[in-house]
Amino acid sequence: MPFVIEFIAGLVTLSFLFLLYVKYSQTYWSRKGIPYLKPHSLLGNIENPFKRKRGLALDVKASYDTFKRRKIKYGGIYFFTEPIFMPLDTDLIKNILSKDFPHFLGHGFQFNEKYDPLSGHLFNLEGEKWRNMRVKLSPTFTSGKMKYMFKTLLDCGGPMIDHVDNLCKSGESLDIKEILACYTTDIIGSCAFGLECNSFKDPNAEFRRYGRKLFIPSFKVLVLQFLIFWIPTLPRYVPLKFTPDDAEKFFINAVKNILDYRTVNNVKRHDFIQMFLEMQEKSKAEGTEGFTLNEIAAQAFIFFLAGFETSSTTMTFCLHELAFNQDIQDKLREEICETYKKNNGELTYDAIMEMKYMDDVLNETLRKYPPVPTLNRVCSVDYTIPDTNFTIRKGTQVFISSLGMHRDEEYYPNPTKFDPERFSEENKATRPAFSFLPFGEGPRICIGLRFGLMQAKVGLSMLLSNYKVKPEKNESYNIRFDPKAFILGKDGPVKLRTEKLTA
Ligand code: HEM
């Protein structure tokens, strides 16, 4: 009996100390003397991640909106007990992302390459390792390299058009979100892994299956994220792993097999794998250290992760808007058809780059629905905000709500209206530069920006030159975002009807 009493007393004391710790941690911003939002629970200013009804992107946007109403330039919120600094002022955001980059070097995601080899990718790396990798990978995305990969994009568009044709003939509506995910999976599979994924022939093809799995965080991943927020250094000491074992095995084997095959058979193709092979040869010739298999696999893995869902959701939202805005769809189709005509019925890289209205429509889509709705940085060296005496301390997390900024009345009046004219040169000049951040900014800006836009332009040109798209009968214009997904996407399918166009 005394043991039970001692045990309960111990538990009560521990709970009490834990509560004191949480309460004290959540006074950080008031102690620092900057505006902050009162945490509404032990979880801080976010909803319960295990219940997720709204999602982190909308939580962060809600904080942005509240600060904005108070007309302040920056403020603090809490993610559990972790203080998060939120800048709103575009000059301050410019400093953080670009001008004073040495104070905010990375995304601050904790990982351990030894236990989780696929986590050692560009997005996670920091410091010298990141710089070296970024320098080596950047030539992969030059316009010269993009031109070479352009044909692969057209080739992957063929099965998509065949698939849509079949559905159109049978009078079925399209689940456009799934169709575009198959299209971009096939492209990234081919360009980053040198493999034909055949997602249209086999919807359960392995690449597509892993694509679905990796974007919905499992319960285990949620628990790990929760733990790491409490103890950020944990992955350095404990063998924690975010990548599921089967996915790790699959992606590393895929890269190993293709590297071996290309080397043994002296096969050359214009894709990312070829570029890695060339870099390896160069390192060998120069006697410098090349990439390990795991390093190559990790980079191919992030190209896959960062490349397929972002572009497919962009195209999905774009077609959703075009279905509800027929005048914009007609104007875009006119430009596309004119481009085909000028190029003897073909689509070329240069022709696609010249489509001005296509750019405006895609930018407006990325404004209203930025696939990465919150940019994050971690402060790597104490940073005093210019003209103030407030210092952001080393280790502090910074959240920039691109979704909040993109839907801010001050920069984009009537923000829920889909209006590509916002991106005319004249209108762009009226806004501060850092008020449009779909790809981030500064030295860590998305490395695959050109590639992502190119695949979206090719996919949209192929679809819109063949079909008129309309909303399915019960499809609602206002979209509910998936609260569980990392990338901003609609909760559930996006249904469209197509009408085949005659020449
Ligand atoms: C519409 C398509 C895309 C969007 C909206 C997008 C958006 C973003 C954003 C917001 C970031 C973070 C930037 C920052 O923190 O400042 C990022 C980083 C990154 N993206 Fe993309 N992305 C797209 C397509 C792609 C593609 C196609 C690839 C690769 C093939 C790619 C690879 C990466 C990588 C590797 C990083 C990390 C860069 C670094 O930390 O140095 N992305 N992307």
- Residue 2 forms part of a structural domain: no
303 lines ligand 1 (CB under 6 A): yes
Quote the ligand 1 centre to 303 CA distance (angstroms): 8
Planar angle of CA 279, 284, 288, nearest 5 degrees: 90
What is the predicted pLDDT for the residue at 245?
87
- Residue 1 forms part of a structural domain: no
- Here the CATH number for the domain that contains residue 471 is 1.10.630.10
Q: Which residues pair with 399 in a beta bridge?
A: 376
439 lines ligand 1 (CB under 6 A): yes
Which amino acid residue places its CA nearest to atom 13 of ligand 1? 440
What is the predicted pLDDT for the residue at 313?
96
134 lines ligand 1 (CB under 6 A): yes
What is the predicted pLDDT for the residue at 76?
98
Residues contacting residue 100 through CB under 8 Å, at least 6 positions apart? 383
Quote the ligand 1 centre to 446 CA distance (angstroms): 3
- Residue 10 forms part of a structural domain: no
Are 221 and 227 spatial neighbours (Cβ–Cβ below 8 Å)? no
- Residue 43 forms part of a structural domain: yes
What is the predicted pLDDT for the residue at 214?
78
Round to whole Å and give the CA distance between 209 and 206: 5
Which amino acid residue places its CA nearest to atom 16 of ligand 1? 440
* ipTM of the complex, rounded to two decimals: 0.99
451 lines ligand 1 (CB under 6 A): yes
- Angle separating helix axes 449-466 and 293-324, nearest 10 degrees: 40
What is the predicted pLDDT for the residue at 49?
65
How many angstroms separate the Cα of 51 from the Cα of each of 42, 54, 148, 222? 15, 9, 45, 11
What is the predicted pLDDT for the residue at 322?
98
Q: Is the dihedral of CA 461, 302, 98, 389 positive or negative?
A: positive
Among 500, 503, 501, 495, smallest CA distance to 173 is for: 495
371 lines ligand 1 (CB under 6 A): yes
Round to whole Å and give the CA distance between 460 and 142: 22
For 62, the domain range is: 34-500
- DSSP-derived 3-state class of residue 76: strand
- Residue 4 forms part of a structural domain: no
Quote the ligand 1 centre to 449 CA distance (angstroms): 6
446 lines ligand 1 (CB under 6 A): yes
Are 215 and 309 spatial neighbours (Cβ–Cβ below 8 Å)? yes
Round to whole Å and give the CA distance between 495 and 474: 9
What is the predicted pLDDT for the residue at 449?
96
What is the predicted pLDDT for the residue at 113?
84
What is the predicted pLDDT for the residue at 288?
84
Round to whole Å and give the CA distance between 278 and 14: 58
What is the chain's pLDDT, residue by residue, as a tens digit (503 residues)?
678 888 898 899 998 888 898 889 999 999 999 999 999 888 888 877 666 778 889 999 999 999 999 999 999 999 888 899 999 999 999 999 999 999 999 998 878 888 889 999 999 999 999 999 999 899 889 988 899 899 989 999 999 999 999 999 998 899 999 999 999 999 998 888 888 888 898 877 888 888 877 776 677 777 776 676 666 667 667 777 788 888 899 999 999 999 999 989 988 888 888 888 888 888 888 888 888 999 999 999 999 988 889 999 999 999 999 999 999 999 999 999 999 999 999 999 999 999 999 999 999 999 999 999 999 999 999 999 999 999 999 999 999 999 999 999 999 999 999 999 999 999 999 999 999 999 999 999 999 999 999 999 999 999 999 999 999 988 999 999 998 888 899 999 999 999 999 86
- Residue 29 forms part of a structural domain: no
- Tell me, letter by letter, the H, E, C secondary structure of 295-322: HHHHHHHHHHHHHHHHHHHHHHHHHHHH
Round to whole Å and give the CA distance between 467 and 323: 11
At 70, which amino acid appears? R
Measure the N-to-C terminal CA separation of the chain; round to a whole number of Å: 87
Planar angle of CA 124, 391, 66, nearest 5 degrees: 80
Quote the number of domains for the chain.
1
Point out the annotated binding site for heme.
Answer: 446
302 lines ligand 1 (CB under 6 A): yes
Quote the ligand 1 centre to 467 CA distance (angstroms): 30
Quote the ligand 1 centre to 495 CA distance (angstroms): 27
Quote the ligand 1 centre to 489 CA distance (angstroms): 16
Which pTM value belongs to this model? 0.93
372 lines ligand 1 (CB under 6 A): yes
428 lines ligand 1 (CB under 6 A): no
Round to whole Å and give the CA distance between 497 and 503: 19
